[in-house]
Structure 1
Amino acid sequence: MRNDLLLFSSLMLIAGAIIFVVYLYQSGHKKNIAKYIKNDKNHSHSKKIIKDFLDIIVPSSIVMNDREISDKIVSAGYYTFQYAHLYLPIKYVLLVLGAIVLVLISYSSYSAMTIVAIVASWTVIVLIIPDAILATRIKAYRSHVSKQLPYIIDLLAVCVQTGMTIEASLSYLAREMESFEPKSSLLLKRLNDRAAIVGMNEALEELYSHIPTSEMRSFVMTLKQSLQYGASIYQTLTVLSADIRKVSMLLVEERIGKLAAKMSVPLILFIMMPIVILITVPGILRLMSGA
């Protein structure tokens, strides 16, 4: 048992060392590699292949830089979160401490292979589950913004119709929506802040990169067209909000149409099969008793 534990400890140390080396390599040299690939035009294709291969064999759940983590957290709607740099250290500390605790608890009760399986399961949970939760939160946030976008467009159209500019309308809506729609208010505030720094066109492009949905793309293209040509967009905004609502209604109808097919399987398994059994079993029992 002691030899098995020593073997297991050695494997854990080797795995931890490999993860640590990969983390240092990826975080310390990724920018340099990208810069070198960009500058070296003669060997750009081969270097790009090497970089893509490294990205494939090293999962993002194991190695991410602070910028990538911060972008994911912002994409989930947490604009004021300032501790993105602690995400990976906390994950690895939990991994190591949890593995040590599990080994100490299971040392006298399970075999070495069982302990390895338990620690491997804990490793998968710690490395994958937080990223899966964050990805689910990003998807939910984008869906929420897309659902609220028609109402934002209607309010923006009313502000534009009263004579306000697009920039003033967005700033006004960001202030007024804070009490009843804080998520959309933060999104508009972020758009206004970026517009003051890089310009409205670039801020709209960043908005679409932040919420890459078809509804947001139509909204961004409409605003950019108005800013470029100076055309009135009241009628365009009202038509756009109506179209987004129609598309949402069509998606709901499609889901309702698929619901009948999805319900057929549990109906067959949990209702029809028990009824068939209840009908046939008494006759079978009578035949068996008569025989």
Structure 2
Amino acid sequence: MNSIMNMLLNEQFLIAALTTLAVAATIVTIALPAFEGSTLKKRMKSVALEREEMRARERSRLAAAEKAKVSLRHEPKQNLRNFVDRLNLKDALVDEKTVAKLRVAGLRGQQALYTFLFARVVVPIILFVLSLLYFFVVFKTGHPAGIKIAFSLMVAMLGFYAPNIYVSNRTKKRQQSIRIAWPDALDLMLICVEAGMSIEAAFRKVAEEIGAQSVPLAEELALTNAELSYLQERRKAYENLAARTGLEGVKAVSTSLIQAERYGTPLGTSLRVMADENRNERMQLAEKKAAALPPQLTVPMIVFFLPVLFAVIMGPAIIQAMRL
């Protein structure tokens, strides 16, 4: 036991272990995308199941049967629900903005909400316990216990915000994927509408075709197609699409489609104008990133390139001066 503790407290062993962990994480990060399968079929299957459940719910409502309403989302596990309800976390940590953020991140339904609340409570506790074990058992120093506990509390506070950071990062990746593929989806939708398809058939066809470029956008379009078929107001389906994506370009297209159906204007004209605007917006965003690249490269060039240049240029002169 003493030899194991000495090995764990050895600085060289800790450095070697951390280096091995960093190398392994790098290899896994690089190799994981190559072995990761496509999630399109899985997400589209999930949307199809939601559509069937929506159909069952609408049939139940129209029939006025005294049965439980069919939920569009998977119900959370009973233990998870009991834990969250017992601590009354929904009233303490949840508001309309929280639900909207989860929806924009693609986390819909009660299961995602309960999991999010459970993580906000459990993750800080786990990180706090692991920090105490590290500071008091593994990495023993001469610092007072109060300082170690204070650092552990800081780590626990980071764990409290970790679920929010995860949702924020997931939202950014999802919106970026939708933003890039949205102009192409509008072009495909315009072709379908001008070919004589209805807007529901156009949404369904575009959802099938755009999945190779953006799985989140294909999922949202398929869900919008289902809502157009079974919601009482078609306007609500377009508004839900804009709310789930959280993008101004999608919101503008949704507003245009609502006005086109309300006033009877041709859908092809509205889609053509919106497609041009979104394509120009995507080009402007790319130009903005390209223009911001030189200032961002200034610091790396100063830190990494200039020392090497100085070493190459001044090195021979310094060596000759030392030989004199």
TM-score range, shorter chain: 0.5 to 0.7
Q: Which of 281, 284, 287 is equivalent to 1:250?
A: 284
Cα distance between partner residues in 1 of 2:306 and 2:122? 52
- Out of 222, 236, 245, the position equivalent to 2:270 is 236
Aligned to 2:194: 161
Tell me which residue corresponds to 1:77: 106
User: In structure 1, what is the equivalent of residue 125 of structure 2?
Assistant: 96
State the alpha-carbon separation in 1 of the partners of residues 190 and 165 from structure 2: 37
Measured against aligned partners, the alpha-carbon deviations of 1:77-119 in whole angstroms (never above 9, x if no partner) come to: 2447734213222332232244234435544535313421331
Structure-2-length-normalised TM-score: 0.60
Q: Quick one: which of 181, 193, 204 aligns to 1:148? A: 181
Deviations 1:131-188 (A, max 9, x none): 11210110111121121111221222122112233234324444x3486354223202
What does 1:31-46 align with in structure 2 at a 5 Å threshold? Answer: none
Distance 1:243 1:178 in 2: 19
Whether the aligned pair in 1 keeps the contact of 2:116 and 2:163 (CA below 8 Å) is no
Q: How does 1:257-276 map to 2 (within 5 A)?
A: 257-276=291-310
Is the Cα–Cα contact under 8 Å of residues 75 and 138 in structure 1 kept in the other structure? Answer: yes
- Distance verdict in 2 for CA 1:246–1:204, change over 3 Å: same
Instruction: Check 1:279–1:156 CA distance in 2 against 1; reply closer, same or farther (3 A cut).
Output: closer
TM-score after normalising by structure 1: 0.66
Structure 2: runs of 5 or more not aligned: 1-83
Corresponding residue for residue 11 of structure 1? none
Would the aligned equivalents of 2:204 and 2:225 in 1 still touch at CA under 8 Å?
yes
Change (3 A) 1:223 1:76: same
Matched, 1:122 2:155: yes
Contact 1:208–1:220 under 8 Å retained in 2? yes
Aligned equivalents of 2:157, 2:101: Cα separation in 1: 20
User: Any stretches of 5+ residues in structure 1 without a counterpart?
Assistant: 1-19, 29-62
Identity %: 21
Measure, in 2, the Cα distance between the counterparts of 1:169 and 1:271: 53
CA distances 1:54-90 after superposition (whole Å, capped 9, x unpaired): xxxxxxxxx5228655433321124477342132223
Instruction: Give the Cα–Cα distance (whole angstroms) in 1 for the partners of residues 269 and 176 of structure 2.
Output: 25
Q: C-alpha distance in 2, partners of 1:90/1:256?
A: 38
Alpha carbons 1:157, 1:234 under 8 Å: kept:
yes
Return the match for 1:211 from 230, 235, 245. Answer: 245
- Counterparts in 2 of 1:64 and 1:194: CA distance versus 1, 3 Å: farther
Alignment partners' CA distance in 2, 1:80 and 1:89: 15
Distance 2:117 2:108 in 1: 19
Q: Is the 8 A contact 1:208 1:216 kept in 2?
A: yes
Question: What does residue 23 of structure 2 align with?
Answer: none
User: In 2, distance between residues paired with 1:179 and 1:145?
Assistant: 11
Distance 2:250 2:297 in 1: 33
Moved more, 67-76 or 281-290: 281-290
| In 2, Cα distance between equivalents of 1:98 and 1:273 | 40
Could you say which residue in structure 2 is the equivalent of 1:226? 260
> Deviations 1:189-226 (Å, cap 9, x if unpaired)?
32234343241212222222222323213311221121
State the 4+ residue runs in structure 1 displaced beyond 6 angstroms.
284-290
Which residue in the other structure is 2:64 paired with? none
Paired AA for residue 188 in structure 1: L
Deviates further, 149-158 or 106-115: 106-115
